[in-house]
Structure 1
């Protein structure tokens, strides 16, 4: 489902070429040596590298935009575009049976020639010329990569007519230039982020075991006036809804009518007056930035509200948040959500996201959450892979991005809502929280079906039928109605719990913890020496006394009596799962019974149907679901 539009390196890098020099302080010494050689303040060099990669090397693999090494120097020589994201699989991105869409078809843009790629995607070659090192070495050797980054910063400083000063405050313009952004707002936002890192300081152990530290420089006030001398264009942020701390540009999705009353690619609405916005949905694009922007401009394609660029964190807004975009595959969720597409690939774990994109995304989400009163938790900040199918028939075709390699723990730290224990060691509820770097469950299917994926950090845990590594994975009867076992495929969410998701504890045995999951007891390895979860406190639902089981729904639609004349009654269709007596599931709170009727181009006929029925949202499996309030009782947060 996810092998699309990859940016490929000129050559592949083998492990031997990317091995760090011996000693956990070697990379720190390389930063110091490169800073000294090119007369760049070490704090500036470290700050830029942190924003690019958090000082990781990713075993020499390129990022989404063909960036290599700690400095994220780029060599995106070849861009291959295949099936675009929402043309993959069988999911109807709109997710409304009253106005179903065929799976959209969009032609993939032709791959650009190397000379046609922007300079921000070709920095390896320039770094090689400046250092005299072979381009392959700049890509594959962390030491050469750091030297290349320092040389580029020094060159940018000289081009500005600035001295190679030891004062980091004199380097704001050079840092902004390093971003590769072609507009003032994006370059300035990037540089401000770098200097924010320098002021606060950072320290961490990298993915290759290197300990790197940047000593804080509090009170550092860079010369931001240098930005005006870069000759960059002014971005168009006039119609955007973004916080002032990010760079945002307006690239509208067309709202157009065509043939036989059909229209696309979103619905005009009046949220939050018409309906409260309750969710933010995180997607990855499964395509490059340029491909994604071409698709959003197609009136016969689908839509989302924002796209985020990996190289520098630039945000493009396409649909006003008051309007309903077609992105999540579930109309109830679409009508109450904002969709964010991130430049990236689910099944390419080493096509890594930059820190710049994680940070701007987190700022945008925090801004939207505050504006619309959305809780900062995993039952309201959803991955596309957490959105439920609307009916039994749609469950198998639901999308699975951003997948097990999205770093939810780091993302929520940036949101200011880290997943810390709120309950004791024997709490009745747990929050899934493995160590992202150390947790490397095996996956298959990244390159071809059944083929092992490269080992990589993951925020997900596997769920088994018994407390034993040899026990089968739990089944998902929605994904596999025939009762077949779940698999380790990267797109198989049937036996997976993800960082930040909360579940009621169903048992403990030795180093294993069981949770209630899809109507069954599911075990995950949770040793005290390397815990995969932390204790939590959260309200749970359980069937009312006397009920052996209650149905589970993929949308919270009103009862038939609530629909006015002229609006077709939407079926309240249960999913194939059951919530059984004695089981408990964490609730994200009440979900109003609503249906947004919008099936025509003219919004004059649009209306929101509200019912007396009440629902609760629950964390039922890897995806959220809904149960009727009349069927369950709510129990308060446990110990």
Structure 2
């Protein structure tokens, strides 16, 4: 089993080298850390019963794939929720269903399963069958749009871990600049995963923008560190709150909101900044998950609140609803994240509590 898992992971890993600097960014593309694999048994998440269990089994039997692997992918991608995704990053299609199928994979999966694209989007059985058909045709890599090698390896590890078959990467990083990570990040517990998609601010930092990725954690940060995506954020918080990635230093301008400031969208506050492109004045935080989901894990909210407390202290940003706002609030024409079920009052109170505000 160790050999099978290792081979499956190796199939998802490519090799990249240091590239030239982006024209607007001092960050270079660096080689993915060397990875070795160790087997570590764990409690399978797939032992948890869900209302989709019979559908996973039926689809697995029909297409000759593993029901546990299907269920694990669904856990990693959506935590077993039937999502109606939205576009968060231009160029990355919205994800649908418990398997989070999107774009060409959604179309191909529907065709292979003999169902309509709409059925594969909105019907759980059709969605899972489409994913099973893709898995049968091309293996695990058929179920992800991740292209960054480290991200592809991490996706495979997460799927294996959900089955209790954890394949743990052991990374060794070269110490030589410029490819070694910095000695410190802005948020002490963050993992540095540099994105080349940033440039210089023209104004001071005065607000925080809250986003949802419209996808899972690894796919999210992997998209944002890809030069071709032309988007980024300063931070990404994973579903459980156990990990935060920093992609852009706070002093720099991430490419995370396509809107100019309009005080009419923010309770008439600070109208003197009207017309300022909001990337110049904000720090952007992406959260693994979807604007359509019913709720957000308390542990994720807590980690995000700790992060916002930390950065608002350092940047001198007031901790209130005028300065900590949603992506959809400030870009309402085509974004809704973090969605109607983001607990704003509770979240702001968490932030203030961690900072000891009275």
> TM-score scaled by structure 2?
0.50
Structure 1 stretches lacking a partner, 5+ long: 1-23, 76-121, 158-173, 200-219, 225-235, 256-263, 268-279, 297-303, 331-337, 370-374, 405-444, 461-495, 504-584, 590-616, 619-639
Q: CA deviation at 1:185?
A: 0.5
2:121 to 139, 147, 170: 139
Structure having the higher strand fraction is: 1
**Which position in structure 2 is the counterpart of 1:603?**
none
Q: CA deviation at 1:54?
A: 1.0
Q: Secondary structure, in 3 states, of the residue corresponding to 1:400? A: strand
Contact 1:306–1:341 (CA under 8 A) maintained in structure 2? yes
Deviation per residue, 1:332-372 (Å, 9 max, x gap): xxxxxx94432899xx943x69x9xx9xx96xx97xx9xxx
2:144 to 179, 185, 191: 179
**Which position in structure 2 is the counterpart of 1:342?**
286
Which structure is larger by alpha-carbon Rg, 1 or 2?
1
Change (3 A) 1:586 1:69: closer
* 1:17-416 alignment, distance < 5 Å: 27-58=52-83, 60=84, 62=86, 64=88, 65-75=93-103, 122-157=104-139, 174=140, 176-199=141-164, 220-222=165-167, 238-239=180-181, 248-251=193-196, 253-255=198-200, 264-265=201-202, 283-284=210-211, 294=230, 305-306=234-235, 317-319=247-249, 323=251, 339-342=283-286, 349-350=291-292, 376=306, 379-380=309-310, 388=318, 398=323, 400-401=325-326
Contact 2:64–2:136 (CA under 8 A) maintained in structure 1? yes
| In structure 2, C-alpha distance between the alignment counterparts of 1:196 and 1:40, rounded to whole Å | 18
Q: CA deviation at 1:237?
A: 6.2
Contact 1:128–1:138 (CA under 8 A) maintained in structure 2? yes
Change (3 A) 1:33 1:497: same
| In structure 1, C-alpha distance between the alignment counterparts of 2:202 and 2:194, rounded to whole Å | 19
| In structure 1, C-alpha distance between the alignment counterparts of 2:113 and 2:291, rounded to whole Å | 30
* 1:550-569 alignment, distance < 5 Å: none
Q: CA deviation at 1:127?
A: 0.3
Change (3 A) 1:55 1:341: same
Determine if the alignment matches structure 1 residue 497 to structure 2 residue 264. no
| In structure 1, C-alpha distance between the alignment counterparts of 2:325 and 2:190, rounded to whole Å | 30
* 1:440-479 alignment, distance < 5 Å: 458-460=341-343
| In structure 2, C-alpha distance between the alignment counterparts of 1:186 and 1:247, rounded to whole Å | 14
Deviation per residue, 1:454-479 (Å, 9 max, x gap): xx86253xxxxxxxxxxxxxxxxxxx
Q: Secondary structure, in 3 states, of the residue corresponding to 1:43? A: helix
Change (3 A) 1:150 1:399: same
Contact 1:305–1:340 (CA under 8 A) maintained in structure 2? yes
RMSD, matched Cα: 5.7
| In structure 2, C-alpha distance between the alignment counterparts of 1:402 and 1:184, rounded to whole Å | 29
Q: More relative contact order in 1 or in 2 (CA 8 Å, sep 6+)? A: 2
Contact 1:377–1:500 (CA under 8 A) maintained in structure 2? no
Contact 2:236–2:245 (CA under 8 A) maintained in structure 1? yes
| In structure 2, C-alpha distance between the alignment counterparts of 1:244 and 1:587, rounded to whole Å | 16
Counting matched residue pairs gives 252
Deviation per residue, 1:253-277 (Å, 9 max, x gap): 334xxxxxxxx4588xxxxxxxxxx
Structure having the higher helix fraction is: 2
Contact 1:459–1:498 (CA under 8 A) maintained in structure 2? no
Change (3 A) 1:458 1:286: closer
Q: Secondary structure, in 3 states, of the residue corresponding to 1:56? A: coil
Q: CA deviation at 1:187?
A: 0.5
| In structure 2, C-alpha distance between the alignment counterparts of 1:71 and 1:52, rounded to whole Å | 7
Contact 1:238–1:250 (CA under 8 A) maintained in structure 2? no
Contact 1:55–1:70 (CA under 8 A) maintained in structure 2? yes
Structure 2 stretches lacking a partner, 5+ long: 1-48, 170-177, 215-222, 262-269, 271-281
| In structure 2, C-alpha distance between the alignment counterparts of 1:501 and 1:389, rounded to whole Å | 9
* 1:530-609 alignment, distance < 5 Å: 588-589=355-356
Q: Secondary structure, in 3 states, of the residue corresponding to 2:199? A: coil
> TM-score scaled by structure 1?
0.31
Q: CA deviation at 1:50?
A: 0.8
Deviation per residue, 1:202-249 (Å, 9 max, x gap): xxxxxxxxxxxxxxxxxx25598xxxxxxxxxxx96446789997934
Q: Secondary structure, in 3 states, of the residue corresponding to 1:189? A: helix
Q: CA deviation at 1:53?
A: 0.9
